[in-house]
Amino acid sequence: MRLIFMGTPAFSVPALQALHTAGHEIAAVYSQPPRPAGRGQAVHPSPVHQAALDLGVEVRTPRRVRTDAAEHAAFAALRADAAVVVAY
């Protein structure tokens, strides 16, 4: 099945990995944009973003999907069978 995965926190990573391991095609992963964190306020990707990169899956980090026409079109162009949302 061709899927889009949407998630951000570490809680979502096992679900992404399970879908990948089960043999589903992950067309793209959507996650919240990288944010400053830690003492130096360095910008870091979310746990899901990093996990997707480790799996070799494209990551998209738009501020809005629903209200951004271009991003909405890009989402539709992925032609996924379903979107799986886990703590996006």
Number of domains in the chain: 1
Contact 29, 54 (CB under 8 A): no
Q: Is the pLDDT of residue 88 over 90?
A: no
CATH code at 20?
A: 3.40.50.170
Q: Give the whole-angstrom CA distance, residue 18 versus residue 61.
A: 21
Pairing of strands 82-86, 2-7: parallel
User: Considering the chain, what is the average pLDDT of its residues?
Assistant: 94
Read off the pLDDT of residues 23-47 as tens digits, 9 standing for 90 and up: 999 999 999 999 887 788 888 899 9
pLDDT at 67: 83
Q: Is the pLDDT of residue 78 over 90?
A: yes
Contact 50, 10 (CB under 8 A): no
pLDDT above 70 covers what percent of the chain? Answer: 100
Nearest to 47 by CA among 5, 3, 78, 2: 5
Domain extent, residue 21, equals 2-86
**Reduced to 3 states, what is the DSSP secondary structure of residue 41?**
coil
Please tell me the pTM assigned to this model. 0.92
